[in-house]
């Protein structure tokens, strides 16, 4: 990990557990200071104290709901006095499954804020500064679910489609200016959030990637871009992108049912 390309600070939205925490620990071990953002203060502090004990980098935490109106401004304020050379926007999984019109519409508008508006504003804010400096990196974490509409998670899959398309455009625009952009598209990954959702990791033939390996792949692919399918999810992604759309939607529905059902 190149300190001179991505340091001295990284801001990690969703940095308290799973893939975000794995990124934080790897970056801190390489001497890059990290700002960890998530809602629950306990897990944030756990990761921060691991980094402090290792002693190779500074750490800040920001307990914040990224689905709120002032979220991006609060991230900007928390980084006003430092140079952010790497933005990782990891927060963004679905946590409940039900039909779009059965939910309160605020579920959808909060998803739009957390997975579309806030990463857009932060990519603009930090990306502009990185371009001016001629170095830096941005990773937007996506999902293979973003390649087809997902029943019972329609807004989530729509928001993930937005994230990888944004990453592709930014990759092309910022690359000539020395700024690396990656849409890191995850397949099934064994995160605490997925464990809380009841993801079955013991089904024969089903393999969930570890957060550590996903973060490692992300860091290795960042300088290449624009998209990396982690944990061997390339084949599933290609199938979804090329098959008839109705079949793709059915395939996402079946995959999520198989992954989460009792």
Ligand X SMILES: NC(=O)c1ccc[n+]([C@@H]2O[C@H](COP(=O)([O-])OP(=O)(O)OC[C@H]3O[C@@H](n4cnc5c(N)ncnc54)[C@H](OP(=O)(O)O)[C@@H]3O)[C@@H](O)[C@H]2O)c1
The contact mask relative to ligand X for 52-81 (x = CB under 6 A, - = no) is ------------xxxx--------------
Give the largest CA-CA distance in the chain.
52
Helix (H, G, I), strand (E, B) or coil at 98: coil
Taking CB under 6 A as the binding criterion, the range among 13-21, 130-138, 218-226, 250-258 that sits at the site for ligand X is 13-21
Q: How many residues bind ligand X (CB under 6 A)?
A: 28
Q: Which residue has the tokens 């959702």?
A: 197
**Strand pairing report for 227-229 and 179-186:** parallel
194 binds ligand X (CB under 6 A): yes
**Residues 208 and 169 sit within 8 Å (Cβ to Cβ):** no
Shortest separation between residue 87's beta carbon and ligand X, angstroms: 14
**Per-residue buried b or exposed e for 91-104, using 16+ beta carbons within 10 Å of the residue's own CB:** bbbbeeeeeeeebe
Sole binder of ligand X in the list 61, 79, 90, 221 (CB under 6 A): 90
* DSSP structure string for 17-76: SHHHHHHHHHHHHTT-EEEEEES-HHHHHHHHHHHHHHTSS-EEEEE--TTSTTHHHHHH
* 6 vs 236, beta carbon nearer ligand X: 236
Per CB under 6 A, which of residues 129..168 are in contact with ligand X? 141, 143
> In this chain, which of 62, 87, 88, 91 binds ligand X, going by CB under 6 A?
91
Query: Where along the sequence are the contacts to ligand X (CB under 6 A)?
Result: 14-20, 38-40, 43, 64-67, 90-93, 114, 141, 143, 186, 188-189, 191, 193-194
């Amino acid at each position: 990990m190149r300190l001179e390309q991505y340091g001295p600070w990284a801001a990690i939205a969703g940095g308290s557990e799973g893939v975000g925490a794995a990124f934080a620990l790897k970056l801190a071990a390489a001497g890059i200071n990290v700002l960890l953002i998530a809602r629950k203060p306990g897990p944030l502090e756990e990761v921060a104290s691991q980094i402090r004990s290792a002693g190779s980098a500074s750490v800040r935490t920001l307990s914040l709901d990224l689905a709120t109106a002032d979220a991006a401004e609060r991230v900007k304020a928390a980084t006003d006095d430092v140079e952010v050379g790497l933005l990782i926007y990891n927060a963004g999984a679905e946590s409940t499954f039900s039909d779009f019109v059965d939910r309160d519409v605020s579920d959808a508008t909060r998803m739009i804020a957390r997975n579309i508006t806030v990463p857009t504003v932060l990519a603009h804010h930090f990306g502009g500064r990185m371009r001016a400096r001629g170095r830096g990196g941005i990773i937007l974490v996506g999902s293979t679910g973003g390649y087809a509409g997902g029943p019972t998670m329609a807004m989530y899959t729509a928001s993930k489609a937005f994230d990888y398309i944004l990453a592709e455009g930014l990759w092309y625009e910022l690359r000539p200016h020395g700024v690396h952009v990656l849409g890191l598209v995850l397949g099934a990954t064994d995160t605490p959030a997925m464990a809380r959702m009841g993801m079955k990791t013991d089904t024969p033939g089903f393999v969930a990637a570890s957060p550590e390996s996903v973060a490692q792949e992300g860091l290795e692919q960042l300088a290449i871009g624009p998209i990396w399918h982690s944990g061997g999810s390339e084949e599933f992604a290609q199938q979804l992108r090329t098959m008839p759309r109705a079949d793709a939607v059915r395939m996402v529905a079946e995959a999520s049912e198989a992954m989460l059902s009792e």
